[in-house]
Amino acid sequence: MNFESLTNEQKIDLQQDLTKYSNNVGGINSFLTLIEKIKDTKPNALLNKQATFKSDDIVITWQKSIYKDTLTNIFNAIKHEDKCGDILKSLNPKDYKNTMNMMKILKPITIKVDHKNDDLAGFEFSILDTSVMKNTKISLIFKVLFFYHVSFAKNILNFKA
């Protein structure tokens, strides 16, 4: 996703969402540090068999393990969604089947981000965003945490209307 191609209204909405998430885990610096640590984790943090990721002060958990083929399908779905606006739109039959299988796996999974400080609320989100009828997307916070470059989050959080 290209931040500069978004409308001012979309940028403001994104900034409000990410600011809320970052405040729930200790502020912008903690949030950006978390993203950098996730990006530095090899192999990808989502491939952890215990379905957890721990940084200094923040713990991320999800219900079940995600395997490499599912992670590859997620990555392909994100690229397709960024081009077409929907992960299912205009797919060939083979890719459609792979994407549907991925969606069946991911639909029940929620990701919980908690700070070790009990005063901070943390947050929870689903991987798939089905908030708009007949439009399936991968949630933005999931993409920001695990796939997009940290500079995308910085651009959002530093945006001035």
Give pLDDT tens digits for 13-68. 889 999 999 999 989 999 999 999 999 999 999 999 999 999 888 999 999 889 99
Report the distance separating Cα 157 and Cα 101, nearest Å.
34
Give per-residue pLDDT as tens, 76-95: 999 998 888 888 888 888 88
Q: How many structural domains compose the chain?
A: 1
Give per-residue pLDDT as tens, 115-159: 888 888 889 999 988 777 777 889 989 999 999 999 999 989 998
Report the distance separating Cα 157 and Cα 124, nearest Å.
19
Domain that holds residue 18: 3-157
Q: Which tokens sit at 139? A: 């949630």
Peptide bond connecting 43 to the previous residue in cis, omega within 30 degrees of 0: yes
Pick left, alpha or beta for residue 115 (phi over 0 → left; psi -120 to 50 → alpha; otherwise beta): beta
